[in-house]
Amino acid sequence: MSSCHTLFLPQTAIFCNALKADNFQTGSGNHCVKVKDKGDMATTSRILFLSLFISSISIFFIEQVNGIKCKCDPCPHDAVNETCEATSKCFTAIRVTYENGFEEHYWTYGCFSDQEKDKAGNSVLQCKGHLVPHALPKTIECCDEEDYCNEEIEPDLQDKSTASPEVHPTASLSDITQLALIVSVSTCLIIFIITVTCLYIRYKRNLSQRLLLKDDIGQSESFICNGESLKSYIDHSSGSGSGIPFLVQRTIARQINLIKSIGKGRYGEVWKGKWREENVAVKIFFTTEEGSWFRETELYQTVLLRHDNILGFIASDIKGTGSWTQLFLITDYHENGSLYDYLSTHILDVDDTLKMVHTISCGLTHLHTEIFGTKGKPAMAHRDIKSKNILVKRDGSCCIADLGLAVRYISENNEVDVPPITRQGTKRYMAPEVLDETLLTHHFDAYRKADIYAFGLVMWEICRRCVANEGVVEDQQVPYYDCVQTDPSFDEMRKVVCIEKMRPEIPNRWLNDQYLKAMIKVMTECWSQNPAARLTSLRVKKTLNKMYQLSQKNEKLELNC
């Protein structure tokens, strides 16, 4: 490299050629100084001073071109005395390692070249490496102030917390163990506190419920006198026929002892129970059937519903033990059980047969009839008449049970209180219009006609067990037992009843008895395919009543029904 410096002095002279003659050159190039002089040789000392200045500048440029010297460790193969020449910067680096659980520091010294500079002359990547966290703790610091400047540098290590826990497995295992222990103990403590709190809250809630129940029973027991029977409470009620007062119902429900299970149905289980040595029937609904329990309770408590041929309602209540709930419906207990069970073990004479069918028609008529007045009764339809929903009393009469599917007719606004589902009840006893889905759901009389159809099938079941003059009796069977399977599907029943229009077979022997022959006429008119052609419950009741009265007098039957 060559350069020429022009200096303007008070005495000007051209000195460049003289310098060249004396070979005043540096290793980096030739330097010429032009001095303007007026010819006075007294300026020689100044020229010498200028020469020294120029030499210093030349040395500075040479150092800038050739770089600075740095300490190196490890060093390149051509290094001498642990010295390297840097064209950029010197550096000192520290790296930390862990061996056998002990911390070791490794120092590194060296030089950076021009290729590692950025546009500003800085070694960007290397000298700024300490700003980035590393898995192994390390740092670096650079300098370029003077030769061997990196000997005096002591870089600050980054925080050891940035190091990966995998670097020192011994310390990591200890930390993880301590952390796991703290988390486990804390979790167990929290769970313990929550459990104790929940148990305490539950205990307090149960205690308050027991105290409240005790208060309720204590208050309601003031309405019950020792020695009083259920019949006396019913007889001494308001006279509305809606049953025992509510507070007394709750007390009775809580004082009942369940004896044994006597049957199961679609909505729950029926138990025999005792209250003050009196037998009662307790229908326990499944908790999923709360709607059915509420519906049946509501209907049984209807004003003036109480009737000799409707199952007597005593009480209803919800009994809870904390972990589960029971829905109680308490009614009269009839030891003979259902008509279905009774017919399977008993043979009837004509009087027994007429008494049964007549009392069933009386109960059905009471349901179907609306009673007007200040405390009247709405007309109802049962919707599930069958031999299993009819109970046999001790005197051989019958009463209708299970009002869970019953509908009410509200005459004030001409509405039918019924869910929008038309397929209800037992498929075997469904009327043709229910099976083919032509039932007029908004007309109450359509539901009464469907009840009459089912009643005709029940009459057929009863007559099969009647012994007439010939002394022959059929075994107990359900309707269409010879046409469909035990649990028929909806489509099977529709095919038999609606398409093929089949009805239960009438034995020939019935034609030889005047009463059975008369009942054939009644039942066939009850199960007519056309709902409009079926008899009303009142007409059936009057016809059967007349037949029953004549049978009691042993008179000849002459009926045009």
Binding residues for ATP are 283
Give the count of beta carbons closer than 10 Å to the beta carbon of residue 404.
26
Residues shown for the chain: 561
At position 463, the amino acid (one-letter code) is C
Quote the DSSP letter at residue 328. Answer: E
Q: Is 89 helix (H, G, I), strand (E, B) or coil?
A: coil
Give the count of beta carbons closer than 10 Å to the beta carbon of residue 348.
20
Kindly report the backbone phi and psi dihedral angles of residue 306, in degrees, each rounded to the nearest multiple of 5, phi listed first.
-60, 130
Please identify which of the residues 144, 317, 384, 451 carries the catalytic annotation: 384
What contacts 228, CB < 8 A, 6 or more positions away? none
Quote the DSSP letter at residue 259. Answer: E
Rounded to whole angstroms, the Cα distance separating 378 from 355 reads 27
Residue 238 half-sphere exposure, CB side, CA atoms within 13 Å? 12
Q: Which residues belong to the annotated binding site?
A: 283
Rounded to whole angstroms, the Cα distance separating 243 from 311 reads 12
In the block, residue with structure tokens 């010879």: 482
Contact 389, 333 (CB under 8 A): no
Q: Is 205 helix (H, G, I), strand (E, B) or coil?
A: helix
Rounded to whole angstroms, the Cα distance separating 545 from 357 reads 9
Query: Measuring CA to CA, which residue among 98, 91, 49, 47 is closest to residue 70?
Result: 91
Rounded to whole angstroms, the Cα distance separating 340 from 391 reads 9
Rounded to whole angstroms, the Cα distance separating 287 from 284 reads 9
159 is catalytic: no
Contact 108, 93 (CB under 8 A): yes
Measured at the CA of 308, the angle between CA 281 and CA 434, to 5 degrees, comes to 80
Q: Which helix (H) or strand (E) holds 462?
A: helix 444-464
Kindly report the backbone phi and psi dihedral angles of residue 95, in degrees, each rounded to the nearest multiple of 5, phi listed first.
-130, 140
Residues that are catalytic: 384
